[in-house]
Amino acid sequence: MDRCVSFPRRRFLATALGAGAGGLWLPAPLLAATRALTPRQTEGPFYPVEIPADSDRNLVQVAGRPEPAAGDVVQVFGQVRDDSGRPLAGGQVEIWQCDAFGHYHHPGDRSGRADPNFQGFGRAVLDEEGRYAFRTIKPVPYPGRTPHIHFAVSGPGVVPLTTQMYLAGHPLNDRDFLYNAIRDPAARDSITVAFRAAPEIGPDIEAGRFDLVLGRSL
């Protein structure tokens, strides 16, 4: 079972997240059904050594390069709240992942040359309702891992969270050690996302909703 919502046309706002968002759109309202904390997962070895000059919310188009990234374009969106239900307005969310060929933009990844047309990393500030959206590629398997996207979230009044987002129904999930280290099925479902066709966003683009819940700091 996954917890991803459907994408009926009437729920999409005709409001962009700013001129530089590369056509990112958010559905409304974003009301999560649970206040259970999002499970923590390892940062992994490939968080950027240096934040790239282009680290915006559109990972499939690198500034100064005419070609888009290889891979299937998707939009990942959601809402971040604390465990009292308060949206994390003004917080920060970062994502990073390998490219369509399984390579990270990181000197420690010696498996091959990363796609120069893929950012590999993005950063966004949460809006007043704790919402975010990224344009990226659907994650692919990395050697020894099922497809995933790394997330790091921080903000005022909460304990920072690092976790990973997984694809619903992917056959490698059953063998992934980090995914299956989460024993509680409901907790595992909370970081598992199904992608749906979203013509309201753009042609040939799928979208998936990934909400996150952070614990309040003392």
79-114 confidence digits (pLDDT tens): 999 999 999 999 999 999 999 999 999 999 988 899
User: Is 174 domain-assigned?
Assistant: yes
User: Is 95 domain-assigned?
Assistant: yes
Report yes or no: 21 and 75 within 8 Å, Cβ to Cβ.
Answer: no
Q: What is the pLDDT of residue 185?
A: 96
Question: Tokens at residue 92, please?
Answer: 């920060």
| Domain around 150 | 9-214
User: Is 132 domain-assigned?
Assistant: yes
Q: Is the C-alpha dihedral spanning 86, 89, 13, 25 positive or negative? A: negative
Q: What is the pLDDT of residue 5?
A: 35
Other CB atoms within a 10 A radius of the CB of residue 150 amount to 22
Q: What is the pLDDT of residue 25?
A: 54
In percent, the amount of the chain with pLDDT more than 90 equals: 78
Structural domain total, the chain? 1
Q: What is the pLDDT of residue 202?
A: 86
User: Is 91 domain-assigned?
Assistant: yes
CATH of the domain at 45: 2.60.130.10
Q: What is the pLDDT of residue 64?
A: 94
Q: What is the pLDDT of residue 91?
A: 98
User: Is 2 domain-assigned?
Assistant: no
Q: What is the pLDDT of residue 26?
A: 58
**Residue numbers of the chain with a pLDDT score lower than 50:** 1-23, 32-33
User: Is 3 domain-assigned?
Assistant: no
